Amino acid sequence: MLRDLPGRPQRRLLLLSLALLGLKTGQFAADLSAAARAQDALPAILPLAAAALPRCADDEAQMPDPSDLRFAEPYDAQGDAGDTENPEENSSAAAAAPPPQAPPATLPAHYEDPLQPHNFKLLAAIRAPRAAPRVHVAVLDGAVRADHPDLPPLVWIQPRLRAADGGCGGEDCCPRRPPQRPSGHATAVAGLIAAVRENGRGIAGLAEVGDLVSIAAPVEAADGDLRLAAALYCAIEYRGTDGQPLRVVNMSLGLQALHGTALRDALAAASRAGLLLVASAGNKGRDIARLPRWPASFNSDTAITVEARRYDGGLARKSNYGAGVDLGAPAPEPGEDTPLCTTALAGTAADPAACAGDYGEFDRTSAAAAVVSGAAARVWRDPRYAGCSAAQVRRILMAEGRYCRDSGRPGVAPVCMLDLGFLDESRSVEDCRK
């Protein structure tokens, strides 16, 4: 056939075409062979692929509810016996704690306070619902900042020292006047309790309070116990514009040196007056049953001493503990988890979503006590518990806690972490009419 083709160039062109066709045919055969081998291997590959890809039914393909947290069991305060200041610091459970995680970027629509994501873990850990009459709350501390844009109107009281029997000799023992110098510590405490909710600023406090009363109690002075006693008498005598007394007294402070019985007498008088006394346990990693701290070591059916916990229920590294501690609340330190964000002394923050400027981080037992004070005010706002006494509110808060840690002492109840989940339930924990 090639001989029949006219001319040598035509023959060369045909030969080249046939050669190229052979190459393509060979490649096609190779591809077909590879495909056949792949088809034979497919049954062995499919199970592996199925195992690697998650299968979700429609009802399973939902993101988990961020409020449905899973917590580890809290650990006992053992640690290194040689470390007398921080017995929890070297605990194996503390070393195994998960690294801090950023809070979710979004919150339910009703949160309009831009810094509230910083405290999302706190609200989730204690399952705090929204509440609806307000009670008066006092912060016994330094002076709360007068001009903070995220705090409600304040009442400032600067007590005068009293005689041993509590008398004033006819003077005004509790003058109301703005402070000369505000305290960052007191301002931080006040914010966790009562920062204005849903105002488009900063954070939301645990409760919407009636009067927020800042009563000066400079316990760092040489006669600090006498000054704290004077502040307690002012708290007992206080009446708001509505004629109602204080209900909650927060004392995120402590001292060990006492001059006689003046402070104990004042604490007993406040308890008899029906005030709920909330005190921080302290941050030395000590058993306060062995090394008393006041007012934390005061025992009464209207007094709550608070230790600091991580969000997973574990005892914070430096928190005091032991018999005499009644309740825990989340207030982790940096390195343990995300610290709380609250009101502070500094000027206006440039970034409204940063815990800076007018806001700052706060931790340890001072913050934990403030959380419990705010929680108590919130419980009293619930119509089911509005008629409760201080002793009844104390029982409710302690009975409904979770992540309980054995006190380690016979006959002493376990210490649990604050949990407000019962406020979202239809049941009543206690009938306060009894």
Between CA 392 and CA 371 the distance in angstroms is: 18
> How big is the CA angle at 44 (ends 38 and 47), to the nearest 5 degrees?
125
pLDDT at 165: 67
pLDDT at 383: 86
Tokens of 6: 């006219």
pLDDT at 125: 84
CATH class of 112-424: alpha beta
pLDDT at 433: 73
Residue 321 DSSP label = B
Between CA 421 and CA 419 the distance in angstroms is: 6
256 alpha carbon, distance to own chain's centre: 27
pLDDT at 349: 65
Is 368 within 8 Å of 331 (Cβ atoms)? yes
Domain boundaries of the chain, sorted by first residue: 112-424
* pLDDT in 10s for each residue of the chain, 434 residues: 444 444 554 544 444 454 444 444 444 444 434 444 444 443 343 333 333 322 223 333 333 333 333 222 222 222 233 322 333 322 333 333 333 444 444 444 455 778 877 887 887 887 766 554 689 999 999 999 999 999 999 999 999 988 766 777 777 899 998 888 999 999 999 999 999 988 888 999 999 999 999 999 999 888 899 999 999 999 999 999 899 999 999 999 999 888 889 999 999 999 999 999 999 999 999 999 999 999 999 999 999 999 999 999 999 999 999 888 999 999 999 999 999 999 999 886 667 678 999 999 999 999 999 999 999 999 998 888 999 999 999 999 999 999 998 866 677 778 999 999 999 888 888 888 76
Burial environment of residue 158 by CB neighbours within 10 A (0 to 12, 13 to 18, 19 or more): buried
Between CA 300 and CA 293 the distance in angstroms is: 15
Tokens of 104: 């979710």
Active site residue ranges: 141, 185, 366
Between CA 332 and CA 254 the distance in angstroms is: 19
